[in-house]
C-alpha cells in the first residue's frame, strides 16, 4: 500500500543535523506512527515520503524552509534578571514561559550577560538543514475516526484525550 493522504504510516527514523550529529532517533523506542497528509511531519519529509511503500529505506535531506523555518532574529530578546521568578536558576539551556501580546511563548535561555539574559523563542531546529534516515515499516488505511480526528488512534498512536 502506498503512502497517501489518509493513510497511517509506521516508521523508524534517525534525525541528524548538518554535522552528522544525531539529534533524535526512534531506534531506541517505538517507531513513529502518524496520519499522512495532516501536517504531523515537517513538510519536506512528508512530501518526500508521499507515494512510498513499506520496506522503503531512504535518506531525506530537508532545507530549513521545508522544516522548522529560518531563525527569526525578532524572536531573540533580552530580559533583565529581575523580571524572572525568584529562585529560578538563570543559565543557558533553561526554558522559561513568558506572556507576549501573541499569548504565552516558551523561550530558551541562550546566554546570561551580567544582569541580562538573552532569550530565544525560535524552534531549536529553526535554521537547520535536517537529514532523516527513514525506514517505512507499515502503511495502512486510517479508520474513519482517525480521519475525523486528524490523528492516529490505537497501538502506536498516542491518545487518551477523548
Ligand atoms: Zn482522537
Tell me the pLDDT tens digit for each residue of 123-146.
Answer: 989 999 999 999 999 999 999 999
Which domains, from first to last, does the chain contain? 7-68+126-149 (3.10.50.40), 73-120 (2.40.10.330)
Q: What percent of the chain has pLDDT over 90?
A: 76
Whether residue 85 is predicted with pLDDT greater than 90 in this model: the reply is no
Say how many Å lie between the CA of residue 18 and the centre of ligand 1.
35
Say how many Å lie between the CA of residue 21 and the centre of ligand 1.
34
Q: How far is CA 40 from CA 9, 62, 119, in A?
A: 11, 15, 27
C-alpha cell at 114: 551580567
Task: Note the pTM of the prediction, 2 decimals.
Answer: 0.80
Q: How far is residue 144's CA from residue 9's CA, in Å, rounded to a whole number?
A: 16
DSSP structural state of residue 41: S
Say how many Å lie between the CA of residue 97 and the centre of ligand 1.
28
pLDDT at position 46 = 97
Say how many Å lie between the CA of residue 131 and the centre of ligand 1.
30
User: Which tens digit of pLDDT belongs to each residue from 55-82?
Assistant: 999 999 999 999 999 999 999 999 998 8
pLDDT at position 161 = 54
Whether residue 159 is predicted with pLDDT greater than 80 in this model: the reply is no
pLDDT band at 93 (very low <50, low <70, confident <90, very high): very high
Q: How far is residue 13's CA from residue 24's CA, in Å, rounded to a whole number?
A: 8
Say how many Å lie between the CA of residue 157 and the centre of ligand 1.
9
Say how many Å lie between the CA of residue 159 and the centre of ligand 1.
6
User: How does the average pLDDT of the chain come out, rounded?
Assistant: 92
Which of the two residues, 76 and 155, has the higher pLDDT score? Answer: 76
C-alpha cell at 110: 541562550
Say how many Å lie between the CA of residue 144 and the centre of ligand 1.
11
Say how many Å lie between the CA of residue 158 and the centre of ligand 1.
9
- Nearest-CA neighbor of 107 among 130, 129, 88, 86? 88
Amino acid at each position: 500500500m502506498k503512502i497517501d493522504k489518509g493513510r497511517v504510516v509506521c516508521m523508524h527514523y534517525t534525525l541528524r543535523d548538518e554535522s552528522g550529529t544525531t539529534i533524535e532517533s526512534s531506534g531506541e523506542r517505538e517507531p513513529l506512527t502518524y496520519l499522512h497528509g495532516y501536517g504531523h511531519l515537517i513538510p519536506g519529509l512528508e512530501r518526500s515520503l508521499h507515494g512510498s511503500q513499506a520496506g522503503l529505506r531512504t535518506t531525506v535531506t530537508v532545507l530549513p524552509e521545508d522544516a522548522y523555518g529560518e531563525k527569526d532574529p525578532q524572536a531573540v530578546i533580552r530580559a533583565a534578571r529581575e523580571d524572572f521568578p525568584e529562585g529560578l536558576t538563570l543559565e543557558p539551556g533553561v526554558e522559561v514561559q513568558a506572556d507576549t501580546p501573541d499569548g504565552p511563548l516558551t523561550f530558551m535561555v541562550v546566554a546570561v550577560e551580567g544582569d541580562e539574559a538573552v532569550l530565544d523563542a525560535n524552534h531549536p531546529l529553526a535554521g537547520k538543514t535536517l537529514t532523516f534516515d527513514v525506514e517505512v515499516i507499515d502503511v495502512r488505511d486510517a479508520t474513519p475516526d482517525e480521519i475525523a480526528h486528524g490523528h492516529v488512534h490505537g497501538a502506536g498512536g498516542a491518545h487518551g484525550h477523548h
